Amino acid sequence: MKPIYIRRASQVVGAPKDTGAPLTKSAMNELNVIENGSVWIEDGKIKRVAHDDQLMKEFGSRVDEAEVIDARGKLVTPGLVDPHTHLVHAGTRENEFDMRLNGKTYMDIMNAGGGIHATTKATRGASEEELYEASFERLNQFLLHGVTTVEAKSGYGMNLEVEMRQLQVARQLNEHHPVDLVSTFMGAHVVPPEYKEDKDAFVDLVINEMLPEVAQSGLAEFNDVFCERGVFTPEQTKRILEAGKEYGLYPKIHADEIEPYKGAELAAEVGAVSADHLLRASDEGVRQMADRGVIGVLLPGTAFFLMADSANGRGMIDAGVPVALSTDCNPGSSPTVSLPLIMNLGCLKMGMTPAEVLNAATVNAAHAIRRGNVAGCLQEGRQADVVIHNTPNFMQLQYRYGVNHTDTVIKSGKVVVK
């Protein structure tokens, strides 16, 4: 493979190197900005990031053997990382979108057998090939938006067989698609209709039958639960997450999304890697998350699409919570792959700065899926996941909002979008 020389970008921007922990407080607002910066990529890795004059002193004699990408007038960042998606699913729910626009709520629709239940039905009815193909296409779309690493949850099977099928598909996608995948088991996404009368029996099933098999298969690293009134109580959530910990699965929580339910507090109590959503998190819960270093994965696209108030991103950063951003890509509450748009919403709906949203969608997002040492920054020696954006500086990435500025994507040292 030829080396790649990204030449003289107007800005090369990103957290300079892994600090071993997600960024908090004022560090979230710091970026390393190299004007007229260049990147030399070789053997799939970032070899050197520096001002072009410096880089040419070191590599000038080898320019002829490299693939040269002229980046004048453009911006270079680390590949974006999406730490929360429901990537592997079948079907769409535009009918529910229309119902919500006519006054029904997300929870009304779910309680009437639609929502997550509708996608579960579609996913249970899909073959492994169909799931693979639909998800592969979504990953292509992610890549076109500059996203090079994606977390993917199961949770539309809610029986062992289909949950495992979703996780198998994610594994195969990880092998065959350029985007890197990180898998999460989410058997406790909702209580399926067959357990409606005895929800605890379903919790027992997740704990006694699903978790051991999933853990044994090695197909998931995280264990996530939808902790919400009418779905799983904090007590049930805690049981499932503690049981997962016994099997080495790291806890995550869909917390305080629709109603305040002490999800943030629970995330701190069980030592979750992240608590996600947090639209209705309490101040006390946020304080406890900051104390325990629980990452707040914020999903302003979901709030936008559900026409709800966004999480208090600004307040969480000021309180010391390491904040990450994600699409929540799923067919019900956020059918988008545009992490760049989510970053725009981070600024416009949650008061985050352009620097904060970039760190939230790179370095902190990588930490939220325990990939802080692999992805999310332009550290020399790392796998070369690099995006060139068609804007001259990182502020314009937010200022010219709603536009996909992605120009070129390099994944593990290969140009995959041009």
User: Binding residues for Fe ion, per CB under 5 A?
Assistant: 328
Pairing of strands 250-255, 274-277: parallel
Closest approach of Fe ion to the CB of residue 395, in Å: 29
Q: Give residues 102-121 in contact with ligand NIG (rule: CB under 6 A).
A: 115-116, 119
Which two structure tokens, joined as six digits, stand for 135?
């998800």
Using DSSP, how many helices (H) and how many strands (E) does the chain show?
A: 17, 16
The single residue among 192, 332, 335, 413 that binds ligand NIG, judged by CB under 6 A, is 332
Q: Does 163 bind ligand NIG (CB under 6 A)?
A: no
The C-alpha atoms of residue 16 and residue 28 are separated, in whole angstroms, by 12
Give the CB-nearest residue to ligand NIG. 332
Contacted by 251, from Fe ion, ligand NIG, none: CB < 5 to 8 Å by type: none
239 annotated to a ligand binding site: no
Q: Does 87 bind ligand NIG (CB under 6 A)?
A: no
DSSP symbols for 301-314:
HHHHHTT-PPP-HH
Instruction: Say how many C-beta atoms besides its own lie within 10 A of residue 57's C-beta.
Output: 11
Helix axes 283-292, 263-270, angle to 10 degrees: 20
Could you tell me which residues come within 8 angstroms of residue 144 by beta carbon, excluding any fewer than 6 positions away? 404, 406, 409, 417
Instruction: Say how many C-beta atoms besides its own lie within 10 A of residue 280's C-beta.
Output: 20
Nearer to ligand NIG, 116 or 281 (CB): 116
Q: Does 256 bind ligand NIG (CB under 6 A)?
A: no
Contacted by 116, from ligand NIG, Fe ion, none: CB < 5 to 8 Å by type: ligand NIG
Contacted by 119, from Fe ion, ligand NIG, none: CB < 5 to 8 Å by type: ligand NIG
Closest approach of ligand NIG to the CB of residue 115, in Å: 5
- The candidate with the shortest Cα–Cα distance to 377, out of 100, 81, 129, 122, is 81
- The candidate with the shortest Cα–Cα distance to 285, out of 265, 266, 270, is 265
Contacted by 302, from Fe ion, ligand NIG, none: CB < 5 to 8 Å by type: ligand NIG
Question: Coil, strand, or helix at residue 33?
Answer: strand
Instruction: Say how many C-beta atoms besides its own lie within 10 A of residue 209's C-beta.
Output: 13
Q: With CB under 6 A as the contact rule, which of the stretches 1-9, 279-287, 329-337, 377-385 interacts with ligand NIG? A: 329-337
Closest approach of ligand NIG to the CB of residue 225, in Å: 10
What are the angstrom distances between the C-alpha of 170 and each of 13, 51, 129, 139, 176?
31, 39, 12, 11, 10
332 annotated to a ligand binding site: yes
Closest approach of ligand NIG to the CB of residue 30, in Å: 30
Q: Does 327 bind ligand NIG (CB under 6 A)?
A: no
Is 316 within 8 Å of 295 (Cβ atoms)? no
Nearer to ligand NIG, 330 or 379 (CB): 330
The single residue among 302, 338, 359, 406 that binds ligand NIG, judged by CB under 6 A, is 302
The C-alpha atoms of residue 163 and residue 224 are separated, in whole angstroms, by 13
Nearer to ligand NIG, 37 or 331 (CB): 331
Nearer to ligand NIG, 55 or 311 (CB): 311
Instruction: Say how many C-beta atoms besides its own lie within 10 A of residue 30's C-beta.
Output: 13
Nearer to Fe ion, 52 or 328 (CB): 328
Which two structure tokens, joined as six digits, stand for 103?
């006054």
Q: Which residues are annotated as a binding site for 4-imidazolone-5-propanoate?
A: 93, 156, 189, 257, 333
Q: Which residues are annotated as a binding site for N-formimidoyl-L-glutamate?
A: 156, 330, 332
Binding site for ligand NIG (CB under 6 A): 86, 115-116, 119, 226, 254, 257, 302, 328, 330-333
